[in-house]
Amino acid sequence: MPTRFLPYAKVLVHLLCLVPLFVLLQRYRSGALALDADPVSTITHFTGNWALWLLLVSLAVTPLRRVSPQLSNLIRFRRMLGLYAFLYATLHLATYVFLFSGYDVQAAMDGLRAGHPGVVWENFKLIWPTMLGDVQKRPFIQVGLFSWVILLLLALTSPTFVLRAMGGKNWQRLHYWVYAAAVAACVHFWWLVKAGVRTPWKDTAVLAVLLGARVAWKALDNRRKAGLVASRAA
């Protein structure tokens, strides 16, 4: 992709990443979401799916760049895609906190309108024991939180000034954890669905291919470096 087209491409990618959110909001505003058998479950799966899909797309950037030099500019979109994956993962988590766990959203909104923001925290304290109990007894929540925490750290360290402060090697070591986040997200998906449901297999297969490509290219790079060292020594 020619460099001069990058600003327009970035705008397009931003819009494409926001389309799912706009669709969800439109379904809510039109009342179509309320007609679903379980609207909260719909939101949960919708946001979780898009978080995982965008995460996988961001991981696909590096292999695609290696396939063709003409795709080298794709690296400009990797951070953006990762941040949108974090956005949808956060919405996925927020769905659990504010809709599934029994949080009184209406009371919190009424408190804010009345000028009592403390109601938001008070309501959160009421559901905290329930949430803690869920985390302790549901492994799929534990592994999902693990994935989200990794994405949070990667999002917080994504700005360029943080990269400079950390140093390139330290920053890169931290951001390799994105693969652990993706694996944990797939495990979370498998443990979330009912027994016998094979819906996550496609996402898992894509991740397996991406991880395999990563390992293969790393092995080739190491072999190439070893060959260069041997040739220089000779």
What digits encode the pLDDT tens for the residues 10-26? 999 999 999 999 999 99
pLDDT band at 1 (very low <50, low <70, confident <90, very high): low
**What is the structure's pLDDT at 232?**
67
Is 179 a member of any domain? Answer: yes
**What is the rounded distance in angstroms from the CA atom of residue 60 to the CA atom of residue 139?**
28
Domain count, the chain: 1
* Segments forming the whole domain that contains residue 227: 3-100+138-233
Is 202 a member of any domain? Answer: yes
234 pLDDT exceeds 70? Answer: no
Give pLDDT tens digits for 119-134. Answer: 888 888 888 888 999 9
**What is the structure's pLDDT at 218?**
81
69 pLDDT exceeds 90? Answer: no
Is 87 a member of any domain? Answer: yes
> Both tokens of residue 139?
């492994």
Nearest CA-CA partner of 105 in 113, 35, 41: 113
Q: Which amino acid is at 157?
A: T
Is 162 a member of any domain? Answer: yes
Is 126 a member of any domain? Answer: no
181: number of Cβ within 10 Å: 26
Give pLDDT tens digits for 189-233. Answer: 999 887 777 889 999 999 999 999 888 888 887 777 766 666 666
pLDDT > 90 in the chain, percent: 59
**What is the structure's pLDDT at 216?**
87
Is 112 a member of any domain? Answer: no
